[in-house]
Amino acid sequence: MNSVFGIKLKYKLRKINKYDLEKMITYANSNANQAMKIIYIGTRNHPILEALIHSSHEIKGIAESTLNKKASVLKSLLFNAYDLLQSIKGKSVLQLSSQAKKQKVPYLVFSEEQKTLANWVSSLKPDIIVVHSMYQLLKKDVFSIPKYGAINYHPSLLPNYPGSSPDFWVYYNMDLNPGGTVHLINDGEDTGEIIYAQSFPLELGTSYNEYKAQYCELGAELVLKALKDIETDSMQLKKQIETSEITRARRIKKEEHQSFIDWQTWSTERVFHFLRGTLTYVKSVPLPKNAGSGSYWKVVSFIKELSQNKPGTIKNNGKQYLLYCKDGAIIMELKKSFSLVIKSLFL
- Domain ranges (residues) in the chain: 9-231, 254-346
- Apex 169 CA angle, 166 and 171, nearest 5: 115
Residue 290's pLDDT is 84
Residue 285's pLDDT is 93
Q: Which residues contact 279 (CB under 8 A, 6 or more apart)?
A: 285, 296, 297, 299
The 3-state DSSP class for residue 325 equals strand
Looking only at the bridges linking them, the beta strands covering 328-336 and 37-42 are unpaired
Going by C-alpha positions, the residue among 26, 79, 16, 70 that lies closest to residue 214 is 16
Residue 91's pLDDT is 66
Strands (E) across the chain are located at: 2-4, 7-9, 37-42, 58-65, 107-110, 128-132, 150-154, 179-184, 194-199, 295-303, 314-316, 321-325, 328-336
Q: How far is 347 from 213, CA to CA, in rounded Å?
A: 26
Q: How far is 137 from 189, CA to CA, in rounded Å?
A: 7
Going by C-alpha positions, the residue among 335, 325, 242, 328 that lies closest to residue 288 is 335
pTM of the entire predicted model: 0.84
Question: What are the per-10-residue average pLDDT scores of the chain (347 residues)?
Answer: 32 43 54 80 93 96 85 62 70 81 94 94 98 95 98 97 96 98 97 98 96 97 97 95 87 92 97 96 89 88 94 92 97 82 54
Going by C-alpha positions, the residue among 98, 64, 104 that lies closest to residue 82 is 98
Q: How far is 116 from 143, CA to CA, in rounded Å?
A: 13
Residue 28's pLDDT is 52
Enumerate helices (H) and strands (E) in the chain, giving the number of each: 10, 13
Residue 17's pLDDT is 52
Residue 33's pLDDT is 53
CATH of domain 9-231: 3.40.50.170
